Amino acid sequence: MNDEYNIKAVVLAAGIGTRLQPLTYAIPKEMIHVCGKPLVQHAIELLRHATKNIIVIVGEKKGALMDFLKDGRWLDVDISYRFQEERTGNAAALYTAKPLIDGTFFAMYGDEIIEPKDSVAREMISLHRTSKAACTVGVSTVDDPKRYGVVKFSDDRINEMMEKPQTPQDLERLEVNGKHYGSNGLFVFEPVVFEYIEKLRPGRNEELWIADAVRNMILDGKKCVAHVHEGIYRDVGTFEALLEVERELLNRMI
């Protein structure tokens, strides 16, 4: 077995899914189906091409998700769980995994669709190691950068990352060759990221954001690189996005 399989992966699945209410009153947003599978299953099937050790971060009302995933053996992975007491941002959710992390690790949002699944995680860990980076951020081109953690990079190296930029000045500054690249929710980190989360001050909505931790790593001279994904990426956070990605994936199957 390749040494990649000793790496751990953290799946962030503690969010409420406000934009998908009232559906998420009944089920966790990560349990919403796309092409016959819950979103969280899509995430785990991507990660298992590079690791068998999965830590799922959950919060209140996530019992259905844990009942579905169980210990992960039926998905050919080993799943453990950590509980986020208070929903205070995705960086706070990631920090709950700290006691279980002892080396390089993946992190992924549990409600993203990235296709094809079979290569992206291996490509990212290879880039991360070759670059000797502290952080590797998966990025995709996005049409509405105001909804994403936007990354500006030259070659592979990230020069700046900003969570949901809003002003015309910020949006113009963050362009790369006339495009905006947003975080697609897949990362490779070294454990040093936890030191930066510990120092974070609340940002947008008074929450702690991974993008802000990465920004501070960059400002501190830590090497952070971007992995550009050319395939399908969808943040399934709205009903429109849910319908769009379902249609797109089904069309590819025909």
pLDDT for 152: 95
CATH (domain of 186)? 3.90.550.10
Element (H, E) at 136: strand 135-141
Q: How many domains does the chain have?
A: 1
Among all chains, which residue has been given the structure tokens 């070659």? 155
- Which residues are CB-contacts of 63 (< 8 A; sequence separation ≥ 6)? none
At 246 the pLDDT is 78
Confidence (pLDDT) at 1: 39
With beta carbons less than 8 A apart as the criterion, state whether 15 and 87 touch.
Answer: yes
**Tens-of-pLDDT digits for all 254 residues of the chain?**
345 457 999 999 988 777 778 878 888 889 988 888 999 999 999 999 999 999 999 988 888 999 999 999 999 999 999 999 888 889 999 999 999 999 999 999 998 899 989 999 999 999 999 999 999 999 999 988 998 889 999 999 999 998 888 999 999 999 999 999 999 999 999 999 999 999 998 877 778 999 999 999 999 999 999 999 998 898 877 777 778 887 878 777 65
Task: Give the model's pLDDT for residue 5.
Answer: 53
**Cα(186)–Cα(9) distance, rounded to whole angstroms?**
10
pTM of the model: 0.91
At 205, give phi and psi (nearest 5°).
60, 20
Instruction: Give residue 190's pLDDT.
Output: 98
Which of helix, strand or coil describes residue 184? strand
Peptide bond connecting 22 to the previous residue in cis, omega within 30 degrees of 0: yes
CB atoms within 10 A of CB 206: 9
Domain with 63, as residue range(s), is 3-253
